[in-house]
């Protein structure tokens, strides 16, 4: 893997312990109901902010996908720069909160290509959030993307579903793409997840045949709230995947 690791963290954790862990869509939806949404970052993702120019490469009018978007404030960053943002999120609460908290008027309508799904669109027209499972996307045509920002997505997917997820992600990328993904490294024997531990080797296994993989940065992401997970360290790694 074409990766630099600024911090000398050895990957010695046993990823197998999380391999059969499954969270249902209902469990995710109930996290929103019970406000168990510690993953949400009100100020947005600081590593994305730092590497935004590398990610955008000065290009305009890009289509940017946020898989498993929650109410990520970064969606507004891209829209304000004139890009088109598409998010996919199972929780209608999360989607409504995004528009309300960002003071963006929106419309909603059924998304007929996927039974039961809805699409919420900003009135300005450049943010569309689909309320459905990411695994339903192959039934629909939402177009291809120049950029994907994947934070809290690959790490939230049940480990047994990662290949299916990677196939969907790869099918949505258009020529010249940049796929930026944040993964987490911690001892998975101490915390069941999500978020799940995604080893570097797993990224290579899932995307290495189609993508060049470069580590942009690795940071100590341990916060007070992580003590409750029973872990003593947590590192976040930002990888940029491009066409091979």
Binding site residue list for S-adenosyl-L-methionine: 28-39, 68, 89, 133-134, 151
Provide the 10 A C-beta neighbour count for residue 28: 19
Q: Which helix (H) or strand (E) holds 89?
A: strand 84-89
Tracing tokens 């987490």 back to the chain, one arrives at 184
Helix (H), strand (E) at residue 3: strand 2-3
With CA atoms as reference, report the closest residue to 154 among 188, 183, 193, 185.
183
State the nearest-atom distance from the C-beta of 156 to ligand SAM, in Å.
4
Which two structure tokens, joined as six digits, stand for 207? 């995307």
Among 72, 95, 114, 206, binds ligand SAM (CB under 6 A): 72
Shortest spacing between CB 22 and ligand SAM, in angstroms:
11
Q: Which two tokens stand for residue 68?
A: 């498993």
| Subset of residues 91 to 110 that bind ligand SAM, contact rule: CB under 6 A | 91, 94
Q: Is the peptide bond before 23 cis (omega within 30 degrees of 0)?
A: no
> 111-150: which residues touch ligand SAM (CB under 6 A)?
133-135
Least distance to ligand SAM from the beta carbon of 61, Å?
23
CB of 33 to ligand SAM, least distance (A): 11
DSSP state of 226: G
Q: Which residues are annotated as a binding site?
A: 28-39, 68, 89, 133-134, 151
- What's the angle, vertex CA 15, arms to CA 29 and CA 194, rounded to 5? 15
Nearer to ligand SAM, 84 or 91 (CB): 91
With binding defined as CB under 6 A, does residue 153 bind ligand SAM? yes
118 CB neighbour count, 10 Å cutoff: 15
C-beta closer to ligand SAM: residue 10 or 35: 35
Provide the pairing of β-strand 145-150 with 106-110: unpaired
**If we measure between CA atoms, which residue out of 190, 183, 110 comes closest to residue 153?**
183
From 84-92, 116-124, 202-210, 235-243, span contacting ligand SAM (CB under 6 A): 84-92
| Binding to ligand SAM, residues 1-60 (CB under 6 A) | 25, 28, 39-40
Is position 89 an interface residue for ligand SAM (rule: CB under 6 A)?
yes
Binding residues for ligand SAM, rule: CB under 6 A, are 25, 28, 39-40, 68-70, 72, 88-91, 94, 133-135, 151-153, 156
């Amino acid at each position: 893997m074409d990766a630099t690791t600024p911090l000398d963290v050895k990957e010695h954790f046993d990823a197998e312990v999380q391999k059969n862990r499954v969270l249902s869509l209902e469990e995710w939806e109930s996290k929103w109901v019970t406000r168990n949404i510690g993953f949400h970052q009100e100020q947005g993702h600081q590593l994305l902010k730092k590497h935004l120019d590398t990610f955008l490469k000065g290009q305009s009018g890009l289509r940017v996908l946020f898989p498993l978007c929650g109410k990520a404030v970064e969606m507004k960053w891209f829209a304000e720069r004139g890009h088109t943002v598409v998010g996919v999120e199972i929780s209608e609460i999360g989607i409504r909160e995004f528009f309300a908290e960002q003071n963006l008027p929106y419309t909603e309508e059924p998304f007929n290509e996927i039974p039961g799904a809805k699409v919420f669109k900003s009135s300005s027209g450049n943010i569309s959030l689909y309320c459905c499972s990411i695994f339903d996307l192959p039934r629909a045509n939402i177009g291809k993307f120049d950029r994907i920002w994947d934070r809290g997505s690959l790490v939230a997917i049940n480990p047994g579903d990662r290949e299916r997820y990677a196939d969907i992600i790869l099918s949505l990328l258009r020529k010249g793409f940049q796929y930026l993904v944040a993964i987490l490294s911690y001892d998975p024997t101490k915390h069941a997840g999500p978020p799940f531990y995604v080893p570097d080797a797993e990224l290579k296994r899932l995307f290495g045949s189609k993508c060049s993989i470069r580590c942009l940065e690795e940071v100590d992401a341990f916060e007070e709230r992580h003590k409750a997970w029973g872990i003593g360290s947590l590192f976040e790694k930002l990888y940029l995947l491009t066409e091979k």
